[in-house]
Amino acid sequence: MAMEENLVDELQPPQKAERAADAGFLWDFWYPAVRSSEIRSRRLAKATLLEVPLVLGRTDDGRAFAMRDACPHRGIPLSYGRFDGQNLECGYHGWKFDGCSGQCVEIPSLSSQDKLKVERIFAGHYPCEERDGCVWVYMCEAPVRSEAAVPAAPKLATFSQRYKSTHLACDLPSHVDQGIIGLMDPAHGPFVHQSWFWRNKKSIHEKAKQFEPIPFGFRMSTHSPSSNSAPYQLLKKMTGAPVTTTIDFILPNLRTEEIRSGKLWFSSLTTVTPVRRDLSRIDFVAAWNVPLPVTIFRAFAKTFLQQDQETMIKQAEGLKHNPRLMLIDDADRPAKWYFALKANLIEARRKGTVMVHPMHDPVTLRWRS
Ligand code: FES
Ligand SMILES: [Fe+2]
């Protein structure tokens, strides 16, 4: 009788298969997956990032983990299985995987004759970190060999011991690129975000803002914000100090904003995360020590997000028919930088070279908004 050489037969090529058609995602970055509260005690949560189905959980010693939601044996989602606080057991044939490493620890069907090395089998597994009440997952294209090679997960900047904070999220029926260029688009403000408490269409005026290159992104250089917005005027009255604001965009999808006036500050981190090629999600987390109740701030922020969301739903209706689109100067220049940053990063990774930044020097952009 011939000895079985191959103890494991691969039924399908691993992970890369379903990415045959490029969806325009940026791999090897952190993305927010679920709220920390969704994996309280032994609850498992499901999420999709970059079209990868994930199951997330927390071990009894408090570590959050993220596995690909597919058993490496026959592909049934592991989220249908049982979690004992350390291992996740598949609901089909009971293979058990360590949550924190994805390593297989048990195959119940093996007999004493079997030579299969169980510990060499791994379920798809991704680095996972919790920040600001959210579970972030490092979506690596190839399995990460050493966690040391993974950069730190993004974190909201805060500037005092005590502060208030909140989180809001909403889905956009769009490719992540549309969500991101919507996020950095200055010209839609007077049309989409008209509110009595913020500003109105008549307050539109010419602006000049300086931008500068930063690693993997660009910054709207520190400046005093638009005088036609009531909240900024109020802040200035409260502290007597000038108000300054700095806004950064950093690949793959991060927008941070810092507003400071004397000892008072407000800080936010907004991300647009690719779920599928036709679905993305905005997460907005903010912290502040300005005297502003969470409920009131949430009501305002929600209105803003909903205005963006409603606009993007309408836009998706138009984009279904693949219209030709335009990017104009200067109002769409940040969008052009985004596409150039993304293309240059992909190119640099492909060639194994250093990424070329599309901006060289600070630039002043002018638009009316
Ligand atoms: S499919 Fe998971 S153990 Fe068989
Ligand atoms: Fe907006």
**DSSP states of 77-89:** -GGGSEE-SSEEE
**Mean pLDDT, the chain, integer:** 91
Nearest alpha-carbon partner for 37 in 167, 131, 134: 134
pLDDT in tens, 286-309: 999 999 999 999 999 999 999 999
Nearest alpha-carbon partner for 129 in 251, 229, 34: 34
Q: Which atom of ligand 1 is nearest to the CA of 94?
A: 3
Distance 7 CA to ligand 2 centre (A): 55
Q: Which atom of ligand 1 is nearest to the CA of 93?
A: 3
> In the prediction, which pLDDT does 24 show?
94
Among protein residues, the one with the nearest Cα to ligand 1's atom 4 is 93
Distance 104 CA to ligand 1 centre (A): 11
212: pLDDT strictly greater than 50: yes
Mean pLDDT score, 241-252: 95
- Residue of 95, 97, 116, 121 with the most ligand 1 atoms within 8 Å of its CB, for mutation: 95
The ligand minimizing its distance to the Cα of 88 is: 1
Q: Which residue has the tokens 């969301």?
A: 309
Q: Which atom of ligand 1 is nearest to the CA of 71?
A: 2
Q: Which residues contact 69 (CB under 8 A, 6 or more apart)?
A: 46, 53, 54, 55, 77, 78, 79
12: pLDDT strictly greater than 60: no
Given a contact cutoff of 8 angstroms between Cβ atoms, the answer to whether 102 and 59 are in contact is no
Classify residue 323 as exposed, middle or buried by CB count within 10 Å of its CB (0-12, 13-18, 19+). exposed
Higher pLDDT, 229 or 132: 132
Distance 193 CA to ligand 2 centre (A): 7
Among protein residues, the one with the nearest Cα to ligand 1's atom 1 is 74
Distance 206 CA to ligand 1 centre (A): 62
Distance 206 CA to ligand 2 centre (A): 18
11: pLDDT strictly greater than 80: no
What would the two tokens of residue 313 be? 């739903």
Binding-site residues, ligand 1, Cβ < 6 A:
71, 73-74, 76, 90, 92-93, 95
Q: Which residue has the tokens 């908004």?
A: 369
> In the prediction, which pLDDT does 3 show?
45
Mean pLDDT score, 355-369: 94
77: pLDDT strictly greater than 70: yes
The ligand minimizing its distance to the Cα of 71 is: 1
pLDDT in tens, 260-269: 999 999 999 9
Given a contact cutoff of 8 angstroms between Cβ atoms, the answer to whether 117 and 129 are in contact is no
Given a contact cutoff of 8 angstroms between Cβ atoms, the answer to whether 185 and 331 are in contact is yes
Q: Is the dihedral of CA 358, 360, 362, 363 positive or negative?
A: negative
Nearest alpha-carbon partner for 73 in 88, 84, 62, 58: 88
Main-chain dihedrals φ then ψ at residue 264, nearest 5 degrees? -90, 145
What would the two tokens of residue 311 be? 């606009």
Mean pLDDT score, 15-32: 79
Nearest alpha-carbon partner for 309 in 168, 201, 106, 133: 168
Q: Which amino acid is at 287?
A: A
351: pLDDT strictly greater than 60: yes
Distance 182 CA to ligand 2 centre (A): 7
- The sheet with strand 104-106 has its strands ordered as 82-83, 87-89, 96-98, 104-106
> In the prediction, which pLDDT does 204 show?
82
d(CA 125, CA 143): 7
